[in-house]
Chain A
Amino acid sequence: MTLLGVRNLRVHFPTEEGLVKAVNTVDLEMKGREKLGLIGETGCGKTVLGMCIMRLLQPNTEVAGEIWYKGRDLLRLSEGEMRKVRGREIAMILQNPATSLNPVLRVGEQIAEAIRLHQGLDKRTAWARAVEELEAVKIASAEERAKEYPHQFSGGMQERAMIAMGLACDPALIIADEPTKGLDVKIKMQVVRLLKEVVREKAMLFITHDLGAAAEICDRIAVMYAGEIVECAETSEIFRNPLHPYTQGFLNSLPNRGLKPIPGVSPSLIDIPSGCRFHQRCDCATEICEEEHSEMVEVKEGHFVRCFLFGEKDA
């Protein structure tokens, strides 16, 4: 059963320098309790995609396509209806907890306010639930910690608080944006283990740089490059049998696989190269790659790739 279906999504930002085409014809499909990893270099549009699902992009953003969630197209909901989806149906754990927690409000209050809003609890009960949420993300002496302010928390605790905030109203889908970024290895492992545990009954779109964490948590992985999905397959398949040259390059750039960076830089999202977006950096590029844009091809069951090396070249 499909929980979230993103169809043909495009997100463009009009800016002074030109139209930033941050997300282009993205299709994603997530089932009830599926954990989908979204990986790709910085600036490829992962956060924009997540924020677009939450409909939190600035008003002048040009958005086209459909985002189906439980049978409704989120892009067509009124702002009031969308507010009931945020936090209660879909929660987003924003990247960078240090700046995503309000510095002048107590951590407990920042969790409790969502509970009061969505579950209509009174102040005291909501606070008690907020403390429970902090306990659930394994924050010691949660009762006292709830009364503290974000800057009194360590980085790992801030991330846990963000997770607690996301879980507070028991949403069906969590969008976690780089929750392990900037944490040291030991804390990172704890957060990954915690996430895995708390989202067992939920679906999660796990945006990350960290393939290790993705492998640990996700059922499937989608690889994003310059605003589009270039490959998508089950986790084990992606690691065993990466097909797209970008995916291969990305895997090879990881520390445990030789730390070989992909030559060149990501293209500007304003002047997107013609043909395959990756052709300038690709060793296997042929003439057609410079001129034409490949469709997503299902190479084998459940393994999709957007590359002329696979599928019909005369597309």
Chain B
Amino acid sequence: MADFVSQFRENRTALVGAAVILLLVLVAIFAPQLAPHNPIKASLGDRLSAPSEKYPLGTDHLGRCVLSRLLYGARISLAVGVVVVGVAAAVGVALGIISGFYGGVLDEIIMRLVDAMLAFPSIFLALAIAGTLGPGLGNVMIAIIVVEWTRYARVMRGSILSVKENYYVEAARALGASDFYVVTQHILPNAIAPIIVVATLGMAPVILAATSLSFLGLGVQPPTPEWGMMLNDGRLFMRRAPHLTTFPGVAIMITILAFNLLGDGLRDALDPRARTEKELR
């Protein structure tokens, strides 16, 4: 009974996370329909106005509607999250497969490279790369991909090593199956669940890193609306227009919270070890 309750509770928080994410996706897709104003159109007469009927969340230093900018900003953050996680996962999975499947020198090189990447605090490294490449959303995404692929490589390599010993892999190889066949037919399907969990859990740090770099002025360039940049613009007007310091932060936090909830829920559901630990209690 208590197990049912606690499971329900966990599922419920994960479901809330999923629902919020769905909502954010809808907001991103339908931003043009939802936004009351043009997000990049300055209206100097309305500068720094507090929330009002016309501007539900107020306006920024150029008189642009904060709500509209937040709605459009969801597009950037989610797109960055999906693209970065997607590419990083693809690169990491590929290198993880090579490393785990072939072993030997390749494995040694890839794993030492992973270790070396992990020897840098990740935001510092991303900042150095993005900063050197120069401002721009693409460069920020490249920088974050460079630091993010390692987690997928490690997880993939780990799953491969554990799947590799299974009899059906041995059997398939004994029957003369090609490496490609063995990997796609036998290894990937078994290793995909942990990758999905890691990818979900990886969304929050990616979005956080991207908004941080934008906050520092490295991401999208004005006038495109982006949450981190909006916070940075707003902080100069903290006293006069505190709403500029509040609302974009709320948007970032809700997004990250939602991905954390969903990721934790998936991990608990898919990680048998975590599950038995719960049962033991």
Contact = CB atoms under 8 A, between A and B. Distances in A.
A16 B1 CA distance: 5
Nearest to B4: A16
A16 B2 CA distance: 5
A62 to B, nearest CB: 15
B3 interface: yes
Contacts of B3: 16
Contacts of B4: 16
Interface of B: 1-4
Contacts of A16: 1-4
A19 to B, nearest CB: 11
Interface string A1-30: 000000000000000100000000000000
A16 B8 CA distance: 14
Nearest to B6: A16
A125 B4 CA distance: 53
A16 B281 CA distance: 11
Nearest to B279: A16
Interface string A137-164: 0000000000000000000000000000
Across the A-B interface, the 4 shortest Cβ-Cβ residue pairs: A16-B3, A16-B2, A16-B1, A16-B4
Nearest to A15: B2
B97 to A, nearest CB: 39
Contacts, number: 4
B81 to A, nearest CB: 37
Nearest to B3: A16
A16 B4 CA distance: 8
A108 B1 CA distance: 44
A16 B6 CA distance: 11
4 contacts: A16-B1, A16-B2, A16-B3, A16-B4
A111 to B, nearest CB: 29
B276 to A, nearest CB: 14
A159 B19 CA distance: 55
B11 to A, nearest CB: 16
A283 B20 CA distance: 63
B168 to A, nearest CB: 34
A116 B3 CA distance: 42
A13 to B, nearest CB: 12
A270 to B, nearest CB: 13
A16 B280 CA distance: 11
B105 to A, nearest CB: 37
B64 to A, nearest CB: 55
A230 to B, nearest CB: 31
A281 B175 CA distance: 50
A16 B5 CA distance: 10
Nearest to B1: A16
B92 to A, nearest CB: 36
A166 B249 CA distance: 59
B8 to A, nearest CB: 12
Contacts of B1: 16
Contacts of B2: 16
Nearest to B5: A16
B278 to A, nearest CB: 11
Nearest to A16: B3
B275 to A, nearest CB: 14
A139 B2 CA distance: 47
B223 to A, nearest CB: 57
A106 to B, nearest CB: 29
A273 to B, nearest CB: 23
A16 B3 CA distance: 6
A16 B279 CA distance: 10
Nearest to B7: A16
A20 to B, nearest CB: 13
B7 to A, nearest CB: 10
A180 B3 CA distance: 36
B2 to A, nearest CB: 5
A120 B3 CA distance: 45
Nearest to A18: B1
A118 to B, nearest CB: 32
B86 to A, nearest CB: 40
A104 B84 CA distance: 44
Nearest to B2: A16
B188 to A, nearest CB: 36
Interface string A275-302: 0000000000000000000000000000
A280 B22 CA distance: 56
A67 B1 CA distance: 31
